[in-house]
Structure 1
Amino acid sequence: MVSHNIPKATAKRLPLYYRYLNILADSGKARVSSNELAEAVKVDSATIRRDFSYFGALGKRGYGYDVVNLLNFFKKTLNQDELTTVALVGVGNLGHALLHFNFQKTNNIRIGVAFDVDEKLVNTIEDKIPIYHMDNMKEQLSLQQIEIAILAVPADAAQAVADDLVDVGVKGILNFTPVRISVPDEVLVQNVDLANELQTLIYFLNQFGNK
């Protein structure tokens, strides 16, 4: 599990490193330098060395990093050797896309259950995932011992649903709504605002174009 003592920016880069190390391992490459990693993942080598330093001596000066050893280390650090089942709350347009995607490029995360209020969706199965009514959310999350949820409900329902998730013991929420939900300190929230990300991208493109 990722340590709470490392910076959030570093934690966000770890899956990126892990994915590329998988590619290297599959290709049979035995070792890699921080410069090679930097070129591949588009993160400067100094940042990579600093990120890795939070976990101790992962490489050797003049040799670089052993690909298999580094891959196994990050696999354990990111809990990639354990299956994590998450719940999807809200099966609208975005929710449907997430159901169909269902983390196809990872082997340790899957959406196991979904919830919605649309009677046309309730008690159906999509892509092998059962969809329950929101009224059954607390019961199902408790029975299945799910601690992570993806929140993709309308904005006006976000906080109320988040409160219900917290009440039933959910410890992590991936929030796709534009609302910044309030949760207790022990609950982790990762906000994904697609509109905000696009607006930021457009801003930087305009700044670049004006130079």
Structure 2
Amino acid sequence: MKNQVIPKATAKRLPLYYRYLKVLLDSGKKKVSSTELSEAVKVDSATIRRDFSYFGELGKRGYGYDVESLLDFFGKTLSEDRLTSVALIGVGNLGNALLKYGFHQNNNIRISAAFDVKEDLVGRIVDGIPVYPIEDMAEQIEQQQIEIAILTVPAAVAQDTTNQLIEAGIKGIMNFTPVRLTTPQAVQVQSVDLTNELQTLIYFLNHYTTEKQ
């Protein structure tokens, strides 16, 4: 791989490429062109070629890309060749749905521990995942060597919980709360605001009726 920083926009598209390459391999396809990828993933072919160029020579002009080699490369780039354990903080309606989502069925990500303050949830096994009291969070994160957490707690305690996660050694947080978290630069935060996304969709429907965005 070239010694350069990959743009975040490119990094966000890598899982999309990876998923489609898996579909191609499962269907028996041996090679694919950037044009074929473009039609499937709805990203223009010039962007795909530029994305791939950050990682060196992944294909040959006039031949395209070898599907199996490309899938293997992006699998390693996305750490799909090793198991990644994740902690879920907050087992409310959304947290419970995420426990049942089955991340492990599609890749090597698994929620290995969940945490909550509610006594009726603590000590239970939900879809094979133990629910611990929030007081045990730091200890379990250290013991299980977890570096990523999914945050689905109420907004009022989101920042305090985040501070505890950082102290426990968490390096990445997927934030499902509406709070804009304050973290050290070394801690990556990916915010998923479902209400904001829905409001944006409604706005697009009302104001962009003739041109697809």
Question: Percent of pairs identical after alignment?
Answer: 67
Matched residue, 2:30: 30
Matched residue, 2:140: 140
Matched residue, 1:131: 131
Structural mapping, 1:82-121, within 5 Å: 82-121=82-121
Distance, in Å, in 2 between the alignment partners of 1:141 and 1:16 is 29
Distance, in Å, in 1 between the alignment partners of 2:171 and 2:164 is 12
Matched residue, 1:60: 60
The amino acid across from 1:130 in the alignment is: P
Give the number of aligned pairs.
Answer: 210
The amino acid across from 1:208 in the alignment is: Y
Distance, in Å, in 2 between the alignment partners of 1:85 and 1:17 is 23
Distance, in Å, in 1 between the alignment partners of 2:50 and 2:70 is 15
SS in 2 for 1:115: strand
Distance, in Å, in 2 between the alignment partners of 1:133 and 1:4 is 42
**TM-score relative to the length of structure 1:** 0.96
Distance, in Å, in 1 between the alignment partners of 2:105 and 2:65 is 24
* Deviation digits for residues 36-55 of structure 1 (CA, Å, limit 9, x no counterpart): 00000011111101110110
Distance, in Å, in 1 between the alignment partners of 2:91 and 2:4 is 32
Structural mapping, 1:1-211, within 5 Å: 5-209=5-209
Runs of 5+ unmatched residues, structure 2: none
| RMSD over aligned Cα atoms | 1.5
The amino acid across from 2:179 in the alignment is: V
Distance, in Å, in 1 between the alignment partners of 2:14 and 2:113 is 27
Runs of 5+ unmatched residues, structure 1: none
> Any runs of at least 4 consecutive aligned residues in structure 1 with deviations exceeding 4 A, and if so which?
none
The amino acid across from 1:30 in the alignment is: K
The amino acid across from 2:29 in the alignment is: K
* 1:210/1:79 CA distance change after superposition, 3 Å: closer
SS in 2 for 1:101: coil
SS in 1 for 2:103: coil
**TM-score relative to the length of structure 2:** 0.95
